[in-house]
Structure 1
Amino acid sequence: MNYYAVFLPMKDEEKSTQYRDAHLTYLEKLYAQGQILTYGRFSDGSGGLVVYKAPDLETAQKLAAGDPFITMGARDMEVKEWVLNESTLNHFSV
């Protein structure tokens, strides 16, 4: 399985507020299905980041494109393959 970091820069703040609940529901569903490693917003309000787990870039792009923030024009998206340093995972105590 590969990891893909998806940056979701703010495009339309009003739409972002309007579709936030749908966006979070979408992410929570994919997280429960094991298709997301983690997600969160940037503290400066400029957007957020989602790390998808997918077999390839095309699948990750399709998952990201299905996010209501993208389908409704609230955010842009930039997808990059991300190499997880798994040895650091046991150091998190969140």
Structure 2
Amino acid sequence: MKYFAVLLPMKDADKSGEFRPQHLAFLEKMRNSGQVAANGKFADGSGGLVIYKADSFEACEALVKTDPYVTEGAREYEIFEWEAVWADNVT
């Protein structure tokens, strides 16, 4: 399993507000299924970051494309394969 850092820069602030509940529900489902390791918004309001776990870039992108923020045009996305180094007390 690989990690992918997915940046979700703001595309449409109004749509972002409108589809936030669906986006958060999506992320909760992905965390519960083990497909998202972490997520959060940027303090400056410019977007957010999601750390996905997937077998390949393509598998990650397929998940990202089901995020309501992406499907509804609220956010753009950039995917980077991430070679994570964790602290001993973090799994």
What TM-score results when the alignment is normalised by the length of structure 2?
0.96
CA deviation digits over 1:1-49, x for unaligned, max 9?
1000000000000000000000000010010000000000000000000
Task: Say yes or no: does 1:53 pair with 2:37.
Answer: no
Extract structure 1 runs of 4+ deviating beyond 3 A.
Answer: none
C-alpha change, 1:91 and 1:34, in structure 2 (3 Å) is: closer
1:7 matched to which residue of 2?
7
Alpha-carbon separation, structure 2, partners of 1:42 and 1:89: 25
C-alpha change, 1:89 and 1:19, in structure 2 (3 Å) is: farther
Counterpart amino acid of 1:90?
A: N
The structural deviation recorded for 1:89 is 4.6
Indicate the percent of aligned positions where both proteins have the same amino acid: 47
1:36 matched to which residue of 2?
36
* CA RMSD in angstroms, aligned pairs only: 1.3
Instruction: Report how many residues are paired.
Output: 91
1:90 matched to which residue of 2?
89
1:67 matched to which residue of 2?
67
C-alpha change, 1:74 and 1:56, in structure 2 (3 Å) is: same
Structure 2: unaligned runs, 5 residues or longer: none
C-alpha change, 1:21 and 1:31, in structure 2 (3 Å) is: same
What TM-score results when the alignment is normalised by the length of structure 1?
0.93
Structure 1: unaligned runs, 5 residues or longer: none
